[in-house]
Amino acid sequence: MENGKIKAVGPAATILLELPEGVQVASYPDSMIMPGFVDIHIHFPQITTVACYGEQLLEWLQNYILPAEAEYADKALAQERAAVFLKELLRRGTTTASVYGSIAKESAEALFEVAQRLNLRLLAGKVMMDRNGPEGMKLATPESDYQDSKELIEKWHGKGRLSYVVTPRFAPACSAADLQAASRLLKEYPGVYLQTHICENLHEIAWVRELFPERKSYLDVYDYYGLVGEKTLLGHSLHLDDEDFIRVKETGAVLCPCPPSNFFLGSGLFKFAKAKEYNVRVALGTDLGAGNTFSMVRAMEEAYKMAQLQGYSLSPFEAFYLVTLGGARALSMEDKIGNLEVGKEADFIIMDLKSTPFLEFRMQFTKTLRDKLFVQMMLSDDRAIRETYVYGALVHDREDR
Amino acid sequence: MENGKIKAVGPAATILLELPEGVQVASYPDSMIMPGFVDIHIHFPQITTVACYGEQLLEWLQNYILPAEAEYADKALAQERAAVFLKELLRRGTTTASVYGSIAKESAEALFEVAQRLNLRLLAGKVMMDRNGPEGMKLATPESDYQDSKELIEKWHGKGRLSYVVTPRFAPACSAADLQAASRLLKEYPGVYLQTHICENLHEIAWVRELFPERKSYLDVYDYYGLVGEKTLLGHSLHLDDEDFIRVKETGAVLCPCPPSNFFLGSGLFKFAKAKEYNVRVALGTDLGAGNTFSMVRAMEEAYKMAQLQGYSLSPFEAFYLVTLGGARALSMEDKIGNLEVGKEADFIIMDLKSTPFLEFRMQFTKTLRDKLFVQMMLSDDRAIRETYVYGALVHDREDR
């Protein structure tokens, strides 16, 4: 590595012979070096409400999540929590994520500040939401959503490794005017991303139909307002139909299933086979705090189980692809991150293949790379993430607590 | 505790005043004491094949599992593996399990020997199987299954805390004569248990219909041969219909869903609401090696998700009940284990509520017991099992590796 980038890649024997003098060498037996993981969908302000009991999407939001998100208008609190949040991501080997803040711009501000200190390639945005909150919730207006997002874009987008994501929460929480504000931001700042939720839960879908009776589908709501394009991250996308898949393909938008969340809220199953049939981009998210984990390894495990329930075998190669190069492609960042090619940014992890007594036992019986990866994907946890490097610097060492 | 049993229970303040001199006192801040977990369904010889990729039940069995089970006829190997297996259970707080061996009687023999040394309340049986193995597999005969099981029963059943479970693998692997042999064992030894698999996978069910065209259902196959009663543990039981539920209630048999396995093999979802409606006994299993975990905490987590997918909320009280007192009742052992009453056997765990940095953070935001238990159930792993006690003796300490 040099200046945060990968300088050379190859078998140790070759690389070692070519090293200039004075280069520091590290050796990791029983380990695998791999690109840092990409979490395509995660909610920062939900770190205090992970694992809230007993509800499905809409009630869960109203009863637990939206009330708890209010406190992030406190900048000092948001900064403290952002440090906890990003540390937990790094502990699990996630080096890039597309993050939802709260409605308060301070939430995104705090994330960007901490991410900048860590030199993280991070995407984040404050949530836009001007209606249908629980009683007592302070909502934004289309004007304040526009203005706050604009300020954040101008201050942070493209600064170092940071990107801004325009973040309308979802159609039920955004009036037509609010969606228009989002659209205006995308037009005025062509480099920014858009993330939102779609077709997660059947009641949510029915509600969208009531709220936008003139639109032919949930996807069409976003599409009509000009929010669906190559930089659009469509969270969940569980209940899309064939017409939706065709339109997703045409627009180049990205589908972002989050298996831990989709199971936790009982939302449904992502159609992996359909996504492959229509050849659309897919990446995985944890969707913490509906997802009960920060770990993309757990997200892969649950993606496998979700696919199995539909008779589809998600191979470990496909799964690890989805959380590395697939994630990078979903973000149109495959020229910068996603694998270990020369010239790419040095975001990577050292995965210890024998991180628990049982993994040490089980790994004896694996022969192929496929089986080694699959065993890690189904049995390992954060203890397997021995070290995490971001832009060439060590940012997490398992031995430090 | 005294002589392996619970001598007194109560708030520390009261108990401490009443203690005779010389009694050793232990204190565990930020922890919860609770009964050891019961795993109602787990396969010992599958420890080397946990997390085999890409198949559903029948192909997974033929390609991976049955070939690997052959080596357990080697007694020394079986003993070594049994020690690994039981250690992993204790590490996760499981103190009682109903265990499938392999077809070789040595597998059950090894389990009983190691369990006896640990003083574990364990149930185990050698698998009975006289047909439909993969090419090259050495099958049993009804005679050898009968004879081997009988020897094991006479040697081990009721010895200390051990029980024998007659273990026909499942109807497709057992001829009518083999099922009759199982039935004969139950009649000759009224105290023993029976465990088998039922209605796990739709192809399996169709196969049973072909193999036993004269029986009206899969359950009726076992019922006809006299294998369904109060000591019968019906593994999985995912696709039972109403008639089956009625018969299960009449016979007093136990349903044993194994969510980690049912997801891993894509087998289906257990009908929690129906089981409650018919008021039948239910307990949870991991079903390792189709289940990709030894942990009953993970089994609870996945049971919650499985229930959510059906719009049923599995409360943490219900979940922890299923893996403690519910498990004990499933085994008709509620007079001996399952909770912390005076006179019961002292099998319990110390659960550290702050076992990871994130749990330490998250627990600050819990108020009720329900929420504390739910957060542990959704976010903790083996690191939360600080200590495991069996019959009053410390058998697992997290700090020792």
Residues of B with Cβ-Cβ distance to A55 under 8 angstroms? 313
> How many Cβ atoms sit within 10 Å of the Cβ of residue A367?
7
Q: Which of B84, B315, B357 sits opposite A401 (nearest CB)?
A: B357
Sign of CA dihedral A151, A168, A298, B307: positive
B83 touches chain A (CB under 8 A): no
Hey, are the CB atoms on A91 and B266 less than 8 Å from each other? no
Range list of β-strands (E), A174-313 = 193-198, 232-236, 254-256, 281-282
For B6-61, give the secondary structure using H, E and C: CCCCCCHHHHHHHCCCCCCCCCCCCEEEEECEEEEEEEHHHHHCCCCCCCCHHHHH
Interface test with A, best of B262, B312, B313, B361 (most A CBs within 10 A): B361
**Can you tell me whether residue B120 is helix, strand or coil?**
coil
Contact between chains at A311 and B375 (C-beta distance less than 8 A): no
Residues of chain A found within 8 Å of residue B293, distances taken between Cβ atoms: 379
Q: Which residues of A touch B51 (CB under 8 A)?
A: 362, 374-375, 377-379
Nearest CB neighbour to B313, from listed A54, A361, A377: A54
Within 10 Å of residue B394's Cβ, how many Cβ atoms? 12
Q: Does B361 touch chain A (CB under 8 A)?
A: yes
What integer pLDDT is reported at residue B17 of this predicted model? 86
- State the burial class of residue A42 (Cβ atoms within 10 Å of its Cβ: 0-12, 13-18, 19+): buried
Closest chain A residue by Cα to residue B376: A51
Cβ distance A134 to A62 under 8 Å?
yes
Query: What's the one-letter identity of residue B32?
Result: M
- What is the spatial distance between Cα B308 and Cα A286, in angstroms, rounded to a whole number? 17
Reduced DSSP (H G I as helix, E B as strand, rest coil) percent helix, strand, coil of chain B, to 5: 45, 15, 40
Q: Note whether B91 contacts A357, CB cutoff 8 Å.
A: yes
On the CB side of B280, how many CA atoms lie within 13 Å of its CA? 30
CB atoms within 10 A of CB A157: 18
| Beta-bridge partners for A125 | A100
Q: How far is A358 from chain B (nearest CA, A)?
A: 7
- Tell me how close the Cα of B312 comes to any Cα of chain A, in angstroms: 8
Measured CA to CA in angstroms, residue B351 lies from B304, B386, B398 at distances of: 20, 6, 11
Say whether residue A175 is in contact with chain B using an 8 A CB cutoff.
no
- Residue B315, chain A, CB below 8 Å: the answer is yes
A71 in B contact zone (CB under 8 Å): no
Residues with Cβ < 8 Å from B365, sequence gap 6 or more?
A48, A49
Using an 8 Å CB-CB cutoff, list chain A residues near B203: none
DSSP-assigned letters across all residues of B360-380: HHHHTT--SHHHHHHHHHHH-
pLDDT of residue B299: 98
- Residue A281 pairs with which residues in a beta bridge? A254
List the helix and strand counts (H, then E) for chain A.
Answer: 17, 13
Angle at alpha carbon of residue B141, lines to B45 and B172, rounded to 5°? 65
Residue corresponding to tokens 């597999």: B137
Closest residue in A to B310 (Cα–Cα): A266
Encode B283-302: b = buried (16+ Cβ within 10 Å), e = exposed: bbbbbbbbbbbbbbbbbbbb
Low-confidence stretches of chain B (pLDDT < 50) are none
Residue B229, number of CB atoms within 10 A of its CB:
14
For residue A350, the Cα-to-chain-centroid distance in whole angstroms is 20
Q: What is the dihedral of CA A130, A132, A137, A140, to 10 degrees?
A: 0
Predicted local distance difference test score (pLDDT) of residue A18: 85
Judging by beta carbons within 10 Å of its beta carbon (0-12, 13-18, 19+), is residue B97 exposed, middle or buried?
buried
Residue type, A214: E
pTM over 0.95: yes
Residue of B55, B86, B292, B400 to mutate when probing chain A, most A C-beta within 10 A: B292
Q: What angle do CA A253, A256, A262 make, to 5 degrees?
A: 145
Is A401 touching B (CB cutoff 8 A)? yes
Nearest to residue A349, comparing CAs of A99, A92, A116, A118? A92
User: Concatenated DSSP letters for A283-306?
Assistant: -----BTTBS-S-HHHHHHHHHHH
- Residues ≥6 apart with Cβ < 8 Å to B210: none
The answer to whether the peptide bond before residue B268 is cis (omega within 30 degrees of 0) is no
Q: Count chain A–chain B contacts defined by CB atoms under 8 A.
A: 114
- CA dist., res. B349 & res. B32, Å (int): 8
As a whole number of angstroms, the distance between CA B315 and CA B304 comes to: 8
The interface residues of chain A toward chain B in range 206-245, judged by CB-CB distance below 8 A, are: none
| Residue of chain A whose Cα is closest to the Cα of B382 | A356
CB A99 within 8 A of CB A123: yes
Q: How far is CA B371 from CA A125, A135, B357, B377, in A?
A: 30, 23, 18, 10
Give Dmax over CA atoms of chain A in angstroms: 69
CA distance A379 to A397: 20
Give contacts of B54 with chain A, Cβ < 8 Å: 313, 315
| Distance between CA atoms of residues A337 and A328, nearest Å | 6
Give the Cβ contact number of residue B118 at 10 Å.
20
**Contact indicator for A94, A296 with CB cutoff of 8 Å:** yes
The DSSP call for residue A93 is: T
Burial class of residue A254, CB neighbours in 10 A (0-12, 13-18, 19+): buried
Count of alpha carbons within 13 angstroms of residue A226, beta-carbon side: 12
Residues B90 and B388: their CA atoms lie apart, in Å, by 6
- Cβ of B309 within 8 Å of Cβ of A370? The answer is no
Distance in Å, alpha carbon of B261 to nearest chain A alpha carbon: 9
Q: Do the Cβ atoms of B33 and B347 come closer than 8 Å?
A: no
- The answer, for A54 touching chain B at a CB cutoff of 8 Å, is yes
With vertex at residue A233, the alpha carbon angle to CA A230 and CA A237, rounded to the nearest 5 degrees, is: 115
- Residue B401: the pLDDT is 58
Q: Which of B378, B381, B401 to mutate to test the interface with A (most CBs of A within 10 A)?
A: B378
- A-proximal residues of B, 179-198, CB under 8 Å: none
Binding-face residues of B in 270-309 toward A, CB within 8 A: 292-294, 301, 304-305, 307-309
Residue (of B273, B272, B278, B277) closest to B256 by Cα position: B272
Whole-number pLDDT of residue A254:
98
C-alpha B81/C-alpha A127 separation (Å) is 53
Q: Running DSSP on this structure, what letter comes out for residue B277?
A: H
* ipTM surpasses 0.90: yes
A169 with A236: CB under 8 angstroms?
no
Nearest C-alpha neighbor of A212 from the set A246, A242, A184, A174: A174
Report chain A residues whose CB lies below 8 A from the CB of B308. Answer: 56, 263-266
Residue A383 carries which DSSP code? G
Gyration radius from chain B CA atoms: 21
Q: Do A48 and B362 touch (CB under 8 A)?
A: yes
Which chain B residue has the Cα nearest residue A370? B53
Token pair recorded at residue A17: 């012979």
Longest CA pairwise span in chain B (Å): 69
The series of mean pLDDT values per 10 residues for chain A, 401 residues long, is: 95 87 91 98 97 93 92 96 98 98 98 98 98 94 98 98 98 98 98 98 98 98 98 98 98 98 98 98 98 98 98 97 98 98 98 98 97 98 98 95 58
Do the chains contact at A316 and B370, CB–CB below 8 Å? Answer: no
A397 pairs with which residues across the strands?
A387
Query: What 3-state DSSP class applies to B128?
Result: strand
Taking the alpha carbons at both ends of chain B, their separation in whole angstroms is 26
DSSP state of A2: B
Beta strand pairing call for B127-128 and B163-168: parallel
- Residue that the structure tokens 């009531």 belong to: A210
Rounded distance, CA B190 to CA B240, Å?
A: 27
Residues of A with CB below 8 A from B55's CB?
313
The label of the residue with tokens 């938008």 reads A253
Backbone φ and ψ of B164, nearest 5°: -100, 140
Chain B residues in contact with A362 by the CB 8 A cut-off are 47-48, 50-51
Minimum distance, in Å, between the CA of residue B250 and any CA atom of chain A:
31
